[in-house]
Amino acid sequence: MSTLSVPLAPPAPPRSTATRVRRALLFLAMVVVAVVMLYPFWFMISTSFHTEAQYQSGHGSSLSSWTSLTATIPIGQQLLNSTLICAASIGIILVVSVSAGFAFAKLQFRGSQGIFLALVGAMMVPLQSILIPEYVNVSRLGLTSNYLGAILVYAALGTPFATFLMTTYFRGLPDELIEAAVVDGLSYPATLWQVALPLALPAIATVTVLQFVQIWDDLLVGLLFLQNPSERPITVGLAVLASGRTTSVPLLMAGSFISAVPAMAVYLGFQRYLVRGLTLGVGK
């Protein structure tokens, strides 16, 4: 009985020395970048487990900085304040940017191009140049003693970029899809809600992550527009702690690490959606 011979696949060509050297150099560069990026977190964690005397001497370890942190500043309340401000600001930004982005991308109306260019131009205005007029307007409305003033300022600062991102993303959706939904009897708001919005979840996640990190880490707006000490966010609380005459570095590092954890968690949790939203949105 004859047997069929199956031809074997040709062996893969050996990697050249130049390819191996390039990969080794790339890996080494990635290791160096990782060390540079992770060193501040290692410094914060290691320093927080010292007393001030141990930090100065470089020996010993202690949990006193962590135990005295809550007694020094109301860190729990400040974390809650930051969370409320971020959630409300991002909610306003998403509602405005999604609606405006869909209108700029799929609806034809007079002056839309000029309005969109003006909106993009607003992204180029430095924050420091508009803080004083913003503070004057907010203070005249009596909103510097509650969350609303800071929330409105954060929403105004984040809406231009979010609208630009959502517009570029919605432009990548086929026009035929929107037209088919309208022909089937859906209004434009219903088309946005039922058709376009589910397809724009990566872009929405991108806006949410970027704005959360920006608002959570901001100090200037919270310092100026939140005059009530009980409503200060965590960044302002740490700034006040660092401005004292005798600043405990381990205590400050413990608070800084707690402040950095939420932003890192949000970024790592939504990293996949962030990359997808940027590549599918801005790329189109």
Q: How far is the C-alpha of 83 from the C-alpha of 151, rounded, in Å?
A: 11
The tokens describing 264, both together, are: 């890192």
Rounded (10°) CA dihedral 121, 124, 129, 131: 80
> What was the pLDDT predicted at 26?
92
> What was the pLDDT predicted at 75?
86
Q: Which domains does the chain have, with CATH numbers?
A: 18-65 (no CATH), 67-281 (1.10.3720.10)
> What was the pLDDT predicted at 14?
57
Token pair 């069929």 is found at 4
**What residues contact 143, with CB distance under 8 A and at least 6 apart?**
149, 152, 225
Does pTM surpass 0.85? Answer: no
> What was the pLDDT predicted at 260?
87
Please give the span between the terminal C-alpha atoms of the chain, in angstroms, as a whole number.
61
**What residues contact 17, with CB distance under 8 A and at least 6 apart?**
none
Please give the biggest Cα pair distance in the chain.
99
**What residues contact 31, with CB distance under 8 A and at least 6 apart?**
none
> What was the pLDDT predicted at 212?
93
Q: How far is the C-alpha of 215 from the C-alpha of 90, rounded, in Å?
A: 9
> What was the pLDDT predicted at 185?
83
Average pLDDT across each block of 10 residues of the chain; the chain has 284 residues. List them in order. Answer: 53 68 90 90 88 81 83 87 94 93 85 84 82 87 84 91 89 84 84 86 88 90 84 86 72 87 85 67 47
Residue type (1 letter), 66: W
